[in-house]
Amino acid sequence: MILSGVAVVYVALWLLTGIFGAPQVQHEVLWDYIPIRGKTVHKAPGTEDWCYARAYAPFVVRADYSFDPGMAGCGGIQLYFWAFGQTYKIRDLSYWVS
């Protein structure tokens, strides 16, 4: 009985993270702070910029992104901690520049 209650809470938190956390992280990655050549810049996304965020676990969101600022592009994978409106970058899992 207790185990099923814990499982229901775990799944509910994962769903909340997917429904509310993933879109918020996606918006932040695309609109707020975009890493380009090791620096963080503020810009609006262009037509070649994309980000796909999804709930990795309860309160953890994975963001795969790619930006094309002109002659070179960059992208990577980042993990974020999301807690009811607040997001914190945990770490970069990978990063590439071309």
Q: What is the rounded distance in angstroms from the CA atom of residue 79 to the CA atom of residue 44?
A: 21
> Does residue 98 contact residue 81 with C-beta atoms inside 8 Å?
no
Q: Which helix (H) or strand (E) holds 86?
A: strand 86-97
Tell me: pLDDT of 53 over 60.
Answer: yes
Residues contacting 65, CB < 8 A, separation 6+: 29, 30, 49, 50, 51, 52, 75, 76, 77, 78
Averaged pLDDT for residues 2-20: 88
The domain spans of the chain are: 2-97
SS3 7: helix
Q: Can you give the pLDDT at residue 60?
A: 92
Q: What is the rounded distance in angstroms from the CA atom of residue 39 to the CA atom of residue 20?
A: 28
Residues contacting 23, CB < 8 A, separation 6+: 53
Tell me: pLDDT of 34 over 80.
Answer: no
Averaged pLDDT for residues 77-81: 90
